Amino acid sequence: MKVAIVGCGSRHQMFRDAITGPFSDRHELVALCDSNPKRLALSAEAVPRRNGNGVATYLAGDFDRLLAEQAPDAVIVSTPDHLHGDYIVRALEAGSDVICEKPLTIDLETLKRITDAQARTGRRVTVTFNYRYSPARTQVYDLLASGMIGDVVAVDFRWYLDRVHGADYFRRWHRQKDNSGGLLVHKSTHHFDLLNWWLGTRPEEVFASGRRAVYRPETAAGMGLTDYGPRCATCADAEKCDYRLDLESDDNIRRLYREAEDEDGYFRDRCVFDPSIGIEDTMQVHIRYASGVSANYTLTAYAPWEGLEVEFHGTRGTLRHRHVEKHGILGGKGSLADVECMSTTLHLAGEEPREIDVATGKGAHGGADPVMLGYILAPDSMPGETRGRASDHVAGGWSILTGIAANEAIATRGVVSIPAMLARHGIRLG
């Protein structure tokens, strides 16, 4: 399969290295595309030469020329979120399948464009929800599907981002909803997709509240920062700021961003206390599903630890899963999950609670990434799939709808009907 990648930021490296490494006997990386020529060149330099030739490179303005000249069988989209839809539609119209980083897109207008283009072309869209492939999360799916706790009635789901990883969303392009949809779309899409998959149902009604409680000027004042600037690299208070990001301290970040910023003016280390930030750091969502299940979801982006806690309340008992993760500056680059930092507890009515040995794996995101790459790039080499973990544009659409509805609920302080929201925009999802 001939593959092209558009978007050469940090996340694309997983796909690039897989295609040119362990899966190079099956696939060929024919092109890279990015808006920044230095990041583009940096990625191209990391690609092993094939038959004496390097990989073709295209600036973002030449994406259509890439499609025409290279005729890729599949295009991997790993750009900022608000650009996903345009690249997806153009690739589909050119006859390519698409593999897209989450979220599929950030708004309903673009979701309609994607679903209409997919229906016209019949091409395949895959959304890379790697958490579905985590051994521990797959085990939770199996336990629920077994009926061990009876019918699931309600769920409590809490996700904690620490003050390194969480703060990072307030430094980068994610800090404005026009780029990311806010954390309820960019980040929580993973979690809402897990709920859709675990429960085998779809969201119908959403109520939510949210605000920015920590990443704001008042926090800087409380830390005694009186002369802070627009970015860490030039900030007079940087040395005494707990949230400082030193772009020179990490070779990958320095090369990807610090040394490339003169090309496009994109600063990777903008101040997390900037009053113009447009996303929340504290969000709570109540979701009612078509099956009758209800869920309470909380996301905080400034916790002293990082990870998740989820508890399923069933007619026969409860199932609780907890995972403490440790991340570095970029999500997925920190310490990996192991049995010491994960626990799953089954408590059936009339019995003592008991701990279940947690399934583990090796690789990023708790062992999820290698499994997901195997099913995407070499499905015939993997065990038969019986859990429906593969995610298409339909699953991608349903995963963002909870976050989009939650954003609307925060803005209006009302309950949002997802079926009504879809009908207003003329969107039909399978």
Mind listing the pLDDT tens digit of every residue in the chain (430 residues)?
A: 999 999 999 899 999 999 999 999 999 999 999 999 999 999 999 999 887 788 999 999 999 999 999 999 999 999 999 999 999 999 999 999 999 999 999 999 999 999 999 999 999 999 999 999 999 999 999 999 999 999 999 999 999 999 989 999 999 999 999 999 999 999 999 999 999 999 999 999 999 999 999 999 999 999 999 999 999 999 999 999 999 999 999 899 999 999 999 999 999 999 999 999 999 999 999 999 999 999 999 999 999 889 999 999 999 999 999 998 864 443 334 444 444 589 999 999 999 999 999 998 888 888 899 999 999 999 999 999 999 999 999 999 999 999 999 999 999 999 999 999 999 999 999 8
Q: What is the CATH number of the domain that holds 305?
A: 3.30.360.10
What is the secondary structure of 390-406 as a DSSP string?
A: --BHHHHHHHHHHHHHH
Q: Whole-angstrom Cα distance, residue 367 to residue 134?
A: 6
- Please indicate, yes or no, whether residues 15 and 76 belong to a single structural domain of this protein: yes
What backbone torsions phi and psi does residue 208 show, to the nearest 5 degrees? -155, 160
Q: What is the CATH number of the domain that holds 9?
A: 3.40.50.720
List Cα–Cα distances, 345 to 65, 320, 322, in angstroms.
54, 5, 9
- Please indicate, yes or no, whether residues 259 and 357 belong to a single structural domain of this protein: no
What is the pLDDT at residue 50? Answer: 82
Q: Sort strands 306-314 and 317-325 into parallel, antiparallel or unpaired.
A: antiparallel
> Residues 144, 293: contact at Cβ < 8 Å?
no
57 belongs to a structural domain: yes
- Please indicate, yes or no, whether residues 96 and 44 belong to a single structural domain of this protein: yes
Among the three residues 109, 127, 145, which one is the final residue of a domain in this structure?
127
Quote the Cα angle for 229-259-162, to 5°. Answer: 55
- Please indicate, yes or no, whether residues 91 and 173 belong to a single structural domain of this protein: no
- Please indicate, yes or no, whether residues 197 and 224 belong to a single structural domain of this protein: no
What is the model's pTM? 0.94
- Please indicate, yes or no, whether residues 120 and 141 belong to a single structural domain of this protein: no
- Please indicate, yes or no, whether residues 411 and 309 belong to a single structural domain of this protein: yes
- Please indicate, yes or no, whether residues 294 and 328 belong to a single structural domain of this protein: yes
What is the pLDDT at residue 337? Answer: 42
Total domain count for the chain?
3
What is the secondary structure of 91-141 as a DSSP string?
A: HHHTT-EEEEPSPS-SSHHHHHHHHHHHHHH---EEE--GGGG-HHHHHHH
- 381-394: b or e for each residue (b if 16 or more CB lie within 10 Å)? eeeeeeeebbbebb
What is the span of the domain harbouring residue 238? 217-264
270 belongs to a structural domain: no
384 belongs to a structural domain: no
269 belongs to a structural domain: no
Among the three residues 127, 161, 192, which one is the final residue of a domain in this structure?
127
Q: How big is the chain, counted in residues?
A: 430
345 belongs to a structural domain: yes
- Please indicate, yes or no, whether residues 181 and 248 belong to a single structural domain of this protein: no
223 belongs to a structural domain: yes
188 belongs to a structural domain: yes
- Please indicate, yes or no, whether residues 359 and 306 belong to a single structural domain of this protein: yes
Residue 307, SS3?
Answer: strand
- Please indicate, yes or no, whether residues 52 and 114 belong to a single structural domain of this protein: yes
Among the three residues 127, 154, 170, which one is the final residue of a domain in this structure?
127
- Please indicate, yes or no, whether residues 197 and 157 belong to a single structural domain of this protein: yes
159 belongs to a structural domain: yes
What is the pLDDT at residue 340? Answer: 58
Q: Whole-angstrom Cα distance, residue 43 to residue 24?
A: 16
